[in-house]
Structures are given as C-alpha cells and as structure tokens.
Amino acid sequence: MTDKETRQTIIGRVLTAATLAAAAMAVPSLGVAQTYQLPRMMNSGELLELYGGKSWRWDEGGGYLHKDGRFTAFVPGKSIANSTYAEGQWSVNDNGVMCFEATWHVGKKTKSDGKCFQHKVLGEAIFQRVLPDGDWYTFRAAKVPLPQNEYAKFSSGDMVTPQAKRLKAAFDR
C-alpha cells in the first residue's frame, strides 16, 4: 500500500469512527434498561375470587357460579314451556381457564353444553377469550369495571337460582 492509500484508509476510518461517535451521542442515554411487563395467566385462586358467589347477567337470564363449584342458569322464554334452566359445574385451573358444563332443560328435553374462557391479568386489567381460539378482549379494565366491560354484568349474590328452581318445578309437574 502506498503512503497516499494508507492516509486515505486512516482518514476513512477516522471519519467512520467520528460518525459513529456523533450518532451515539445523538441518542439519549436512558441510564437503565427499559422493561415491559406482559400479561400473565391468572391462577385458580384469582379466578375463584373473580367468579365464586357471583351472578352473571345476560341479555336474557343469567348464570350463577356457586362457591362450591355448582353452576345454575336460566333463560326466560315467552312462556314457561319455552324457558330454559341449567344445572351443572364450573371449575378453574392455574392456566387461567374457567369452564362451565351444564345440562340445559327446556320442558322435558335436555342438552349438555359448556364453554371455557381463558384469562390474563396485567395490573388491575383482566383480559379474556373464549377457548379454543377466540380473540382476546378487555374483560375488566380496572378494579371497578367500566360499563362496557363484560365484568360489569357480574354482581355478588345469587340472582338466578330462584328462577331456575321455579322452572324446574314447573317442568317436573
């Protein structure tokens, strides 16, 4: 390499180093690594607290999740003959899953059916999806749910079992 080529190589390297140094100084230093918290699956204790002893109001009727794992529901019809009640079980696990399985009664006809929901939590927000492949949505945005949150349809106490028992008695006649 000639002296001229050596000088050009050195000048090129110095310019590259100076450019990199200037770019590094232009980026503000945070001083600490930024971390982001991701939602985590809810555990069974959290799910029991969330659902146990709560009534879930639907557009028509509702369900009650007894603290002992029983599930009761009713859906009113235009008459007793086409109203529906259900009796079954609900359960939770440490993978954020709550399921209910029930036998639904319409008159003398019955049908077993169930549904499972998965839950994640981040701070006070709870996200939910219907399994197996539903989209995640905000189930509860804060400790006190917003009116548009599904959890706003839940309330403490049994507002369902009396109606379900009346239907059962009518169907058993």
> 10 Å Cβ neighbour count for 96?
24
What is the CA 109 to chain-centroid distance, rounded?
A: 33
What digits encode the pLDDT tens for the residues 65-100?
999 999 999 999 999 889 999 999 999 999 999 999
Alpha-carbon distance 170 to 125, whole Å?
42
Sign of the torsion formed by the C-alpha atoms of 38, 44, 48 and 51: positive
Q: Domain spans of the chain?
A: 40-172
User: What's the mean pLDDT in 156-168?
Assistant: 96
Question: What mean pLDDT value characterizes the chain?
Answer: 86
pLDDT score recorded for residue 35: 77
* 26, pLDDT greater than 50: no
